[in-house]
Amino acid sequence: MKMNILLGFLCTIFIAASLSSCNDYDPVVVGYENPEEENGVVATPPDIKFEWELELITNVGQHNPNVFVYKDKKYDNLFTRNLGWNGGDGVLSTLLPDGNVFWSFNDSFYGVVESETRTRRSCSFPRNSLMIQTKGADGKLGETDNSLMWLADFVQTDDPDKPGYYMAYTQLRHPDAALEVEKPEESKIDNDYIYWAGDGTIVDGKLQVIWGAVDLTDENNPMRRFASCLATYSLEGKPGDPNYMKRISVDHNFRPGDNMGYGNTLYEDADGHTYLYTTNGYDVLVARSTTHDLTSPWEYYVRDLSGNFQWITSFPTEEESKRSNILMNNGQCSMPWVFKKGDMYYLIGQSMWFGHAMHIYRSDNPYGPFTDQKVLFVIPDTVDKIGNQYYNHLYMVNLHPHLARAGELVFSTNTDCADFWDNYNRPGSADYYRPFFFRVFNWESVYEKND
């Protein structure tokens, strides 16, 4: 009896200290130092609502003291799923005219997860997947499991004792893809030529999404981007209607030979152009469409031999790409995101080599040059999951402006595991290959008034 009381007391202490839990399968929450121990001064945090379920990440010198970074536990939990889709990277989103949000994912997992241990069992592995996050009755974006409508072609959802229960097929297949599995009761997986999602935009009431064609057969470059595809989707009616998100057209030859991936991220500017960003290594490149319609002619922003930038209509050569970085002072990042506030354009990207520092730049134009590099914030080394909590690779750090509630920046991150088969049959395996979310408040303070 005394031993039980002692264990209960120790459990309370651990929970209060946010270090652990008495449930073997609860994630260990990593603690941070108190900044008052460093300098005795703490900046005033923003007004955070309890229902947002945010958890402050204490700043111990990683970034500007007036910037506040939170783990978004509501969205972490929203994407912690046990049936159907239970993981996917890519994680791009687009605000739709009706206020719903379109989400796309690259490699995904569909099937059943053991909820307590977060163990992923037998799952299908479609190479891309789609979802709509719907509005609630109050007109606000829904943030419950019922708000997520997965646009998946399921094998079967009626009998958990039969093969393929809540498994799904790849949403958009490359025309040259050969199926590894041909049995109709099992999920079909493409392992040679696949599509991974780029960004999306709204044109004439329809959704246009760029997809990158990837060659998995090249042993020297096993994830070689070699072309782009453009898929157009109907937005007629409302979610659940036959025409809503019906694929209207697919142009598999939209940008043949595009090995750069222009349109990995997009920015629709008031000047009438849509700007399409990508990286050459870690150099940031940009193109633009003549109008917001992505089927209009494109121009590429290229530096000539005299060092001057100009817009050209031909796809850049390798030499032109190498000298056309729009970040000043040879700045480098991955997955650049551009947005505008006031008269200034901002670019945010992840630091090199899967770095945890997120850099921010600014410019007078959406095509740069982007200058004044600062550290916006630093992503913690760990994620709140069972088992190994450390990122293997931190990648696909994506911006979701339409999820903001009070002008903050909202990011999702991904982590993979050291061995692909660690995604299955062990505690915590279902929390690889899924997004974790962060909100960054008062980000503008990175640039002081005298900068």
**Tens digits of per-residue pLDDT, 106-152?**
999 999 999 999 999 989 999 999 999 999 888 899 999 999 999 99
Pick from 203, 351, 201: which is nearest to 266 by CA? Answer: 201
pTM of the model: 0.88
Residue with tokens 């999702």: 412
Percent of the chain with pLDDT over 70: 88
Output 97 or 183, whichever has higher pLDDT: 97
Q: Say which residues have a Cβ less than 8 Å from residue 197's Cβ, sequence separation at least 6.
A: 90, 92, 104, 105, 106, 128, 209, 210, 211, 212
Say yes or no to pLDDT of 7 above 60. Answer: no
The residue-averaged pLDDT of 57-84 equals: 91
Q: For the purposes of burial, counting CB atoms within 10 Å of the CB of 418, is it exposed (0-12), middle (13-18) or buried (19 or more)? A: exposed
Residue 449 to residue 451: CA distance in whole angstroms: 6
Pick from 419, 343, 405: which is nearest to 72 by CA? Answer: 405
Say yes or no to pLDDT of 1 above 60. Answer: no
Helix, strand, coil: what percent of the chain each, to 5?
10, 40, 50
Residue 417 to residue 394: CA distance in whole angstroms: 10
Least confident of 58-67, 257-266, 385-394: 58-67
Least confident of 187-201, 206-220, 324-338: 187-201
The residue-averaged pLDDT of 415-443 equals: 94
Residue 333 token pair? 């990042």
Residue 34's pLDDT is: 44
Pick from 395, 404, 335, 326: which is nearest to 362 by CA? Answer: 326
Say yes or no to pLDDT of 178 above 50. Answer: yes
Amino acid in the structure at residue 76: D
Residue 16's pLDDT is: 41
Least confident of 252-261, 351-360, 440-449: 440-449
Say yes or no to pLDDT of 17 above 50. Answer: no
Residue 205 token pair? 């009431």
CA distances to 28, 418, 421, 427 from 25, in Å: 9, 21, 20, 7
Confidence of residue 37 (pLDDT cuts 50, 70, 90): very low
Percent of the chain with pLDDT over 90: 75
Confidence of residue 222 (pLDDT cuts 50, 70, 90): confident
Neighbouring C-beta atoms of residue 91, cutoff 10 Å: 23
pLDDT in tens, 315-351: 999 999 999 999 998 899 999 999 999 999 999 999 9
pLDDT in tens, 379-403: 998 899 998 898 999 999 999 999 9
Residue 181's pLDDT is: 60
Say yes or no to pLDDT of 62 above 90. Answer: no
Laid out side by side, the sheet with 119-124 consists of 83-88, 108-114, 119-124
Residue 22's pLDDT is: 47
Residue 10 token pair? 């120790």
Confidence of residue 2 (pLDDT cuts 50, 70, 90): very low
Q: Which helix (H) or strand (E) holds 55?
A: strand 54-57
Say yes or no to pLDDT of 3 above 90. Answer: no
Secondary structure letter of residue 133 according to DSSP: E
Amino acid in the structure at residue 31: G
For residues 201-236, one letter each, b for 16 or more C-beta atoms within 10 angstroms of the residue's C-beta and e for the rest, the string is bbbeebbbbbbbbbbeeeeeeeeebebbbbbbbbbe
- Could you tell me how far CA 264 lies from the centroid of its own chain? 11
Laid out side by side, the sheet with 283-289 consists of 265-268, 274-280, 283-289, 298-303, 309-312
Residue 331 token pair? 């700045």
- One DSSP character per residue, 348-360 reads EEEPTTT-SEEEE
Residue 219's pLDDT is: 83
Say yes or no to pLDDT of 6 above 50. Answer: no
8 Å CB contact between 182 and 140: no
Neighbouring C-beta atoms of residue 43, cutoff 10 Å: 14
Angle at 141 between CA 196 and CA 235, to 5 degrees: 55
The residue-averaged pLDDT of 433-446 equals: 95
Q: Which range has the top average pLDDT, 8-12, 187-191, 302-306? A: 302-306
The residue-averaged pLDDT of 279-297 equals: 96
8 Å CB contact between 69 and 382: no
Mean pLDDT of the chain: 88
For residue 369, cis peptide bond before it (omega within 30 degrees of 0): yes
Residue 36 token pair? 């008052």
8 Å CB contact between 202 and 245: no
Secondary structure letter of residue 315 according to DSSP: P
